[in-house]
């Protein structure tokens, strides 16, 4: 019988004693390589898709005014509502608060409509608007309860802000205000301290990841002067002792239809931003012209951890969700290469919320891509193959000896 007595490289031990150790080494090397490769690939995918760590977007849009002569405040909010929907935030993640006393007002020349431009090319009210807090429901108490999650047990889901520590929230407010206060329907006020404390409660209760706060009112910038919670980016229409002005009136409607700060914000978003936009909040802030707005727009960035030139507009105005990589559920097949393919479907695990409808897994089409299939299964099959090969060599050595 044919025997192998020595290794070619000069070892003194016979092959039969070397092969078992070699087999074990090969198996462990393959397992470690597979794990390292999978971990490295997971990190690559995470860094490729993630510019922010948030996984969901919400918007809270509030008009604190009522009565016909405040038409522009309702159209301010409805303009923002249309924009965030266009950029991907679903109605289920938009809380809309307004008096809703304009569209069906007896003085409305165009019943059932609301416009923010004198050419009346776009009806903001339309057929699909979903108002969550209407009329006298728009109160300081309801607003703070909404933010902090302290709503009554029988409050329907549509009136709840079901956010978590991975949620980016866009909060927009408009109405009549002054130095560190904003009026709610000429009946009560919310102060800058109230708002700051509400955001702090949200942070302590892990109800947000990042907040973009925007406000259009007189002396608007004083409303974010008392903020002290982390990860809040703020902007307002006017400095202390400055008024916030309307942009233009519609002679047929008879009142101003939009405010200047909101008009130029919406104009920038409409002209330049879609769901795939790479424009940043710095681009938006840089677009503001004091001569056009007739007041001094302000910004506050000291509480925000990221440079605003790295913060995409769609991080707040859109719903571009990041990949949540899961070793059990999410596997990436790179088709033999380490380069991402041009199309992909990504399976995302939504964060748990109170409503069961939101806790299921969803498939999201993404502009970049790799088909999510069992790459880990291929690695496992490779381990099995090496193990079988090593076992075969060991058996041959035993028979030979």
Give the residue numbers marked as catalytic. 176, 218
Assigned token pair, 63: 């008009």
Contacts of 6 by beta carbon, 8 Å cutoff, 6+ apart: 12, 14
Supply the DSSP symbol for 302. Answer: T
β-bridge pairing 167-174 and 56-63 = parallel
- Listed in sequence order, the DSSP H helices in 134-252 are 140-148, 192-204
Contacts of 149 by beta carbon, 8 Å cutoff, 6+ apart: 160, 161, 202, 205, 207
Please, are residues 362 and 350 in contact by the beta-carbon 8 Å criterion? yes
> Is 72 buried (19+), middle (13-18) or exposed (0-12) by CB count in 10 A?
buried
Please, are residues 78 and 125 in contact by the beta-carbon 8 Å criterion? yes
Please, are residues 259 and 76 in contact by the beta-carbon 8 Å criterion? yes
Say whether 156 sits in a helix, a strand or coil: coil
Please, are residues 210 and 231 in contact by the beta-carbon 8 Å criterion? yes
End-to-end alpha carbon distance in the chain: 9
């Amino acid at each position: 019988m044919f025997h192998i007595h020595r290794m070619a490289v000069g070892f003194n031990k016979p092959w039969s004693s070397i092969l078992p150790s070699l087999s074990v080494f090969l198996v462990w090397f393959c397992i470690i390589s597979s794990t390292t490769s999978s971990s490295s690939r997971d990190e690559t995918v995470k860094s490729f898709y993630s510019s922010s760590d948030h996984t969901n977007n919400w918007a809270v849009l509030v008009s604190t005014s009522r009565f016909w002569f405040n038409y522009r405040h309702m159209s301010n909010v409805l303009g923002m509502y249309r924009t965030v929907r266009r950029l991907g935030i679903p109605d289920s993640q938009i809380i809309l608060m307004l008096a809703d006393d304009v569209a069906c007002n007896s003085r409305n020349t165009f019943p059932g409509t609301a416009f923010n431009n004198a050419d009346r090319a776009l009806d903001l009210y339309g057929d699909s608007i979903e108002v969550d807090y209407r009329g006298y429901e728009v109160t300081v108490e309801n607003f703070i309860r909404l933010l902090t999650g302290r709503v009554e047990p029988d409050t329907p889901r549509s009136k709840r802000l079901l956010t978590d520590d991975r949620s980016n929230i866009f909060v927009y407010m408009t109405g009549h205000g002054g130095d560190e206060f904003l009026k709610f329907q000429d009946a009560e006020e919310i102060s800058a301290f109230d708002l700051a404390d509400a955001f702090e409660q949200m942070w302590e209760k892990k109800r947000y990841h990042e907040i973009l706060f925007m406000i259009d009112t007189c002396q608007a910038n004083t409303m974010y002067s008392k903020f002290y919670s982390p990860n809040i980016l703020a902007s307002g229409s006017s400095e202390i002792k400055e008024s916030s002005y309307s942009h233009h009136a519609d002679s047929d409607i008879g009142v101003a239809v939009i405010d200047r700060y909101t008009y130029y914000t919406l104009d920038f978003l409409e002209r330049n931003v879609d769901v795939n936009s790479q424009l940043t909040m710095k681009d938006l802030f840089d677009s503001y012209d004091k001569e056009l707005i007739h007041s001094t727009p302000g910004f506050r960035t000291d509480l925000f951890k990221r440079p605003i030139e790295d913060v995409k507009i769609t991080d707040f105005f859109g719903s571009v969700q990041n990949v949540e990589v899961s070793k059990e559920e999410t596997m990436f097949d790179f088709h033999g290469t380490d380069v991402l393919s041009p199309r992909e479907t990504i399976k995302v695990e939504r964060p748990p919320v109170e409503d069961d409808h939101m806790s299921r897994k969803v498939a999201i089409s993404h502009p970049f891509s790799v088909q999510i299939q069992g790459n880990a299964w291929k690695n496992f099959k490779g381990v099995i193959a090496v193990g079988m090969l090593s076992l075969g060599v060991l058996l041959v050595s035993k028979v030979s000896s």
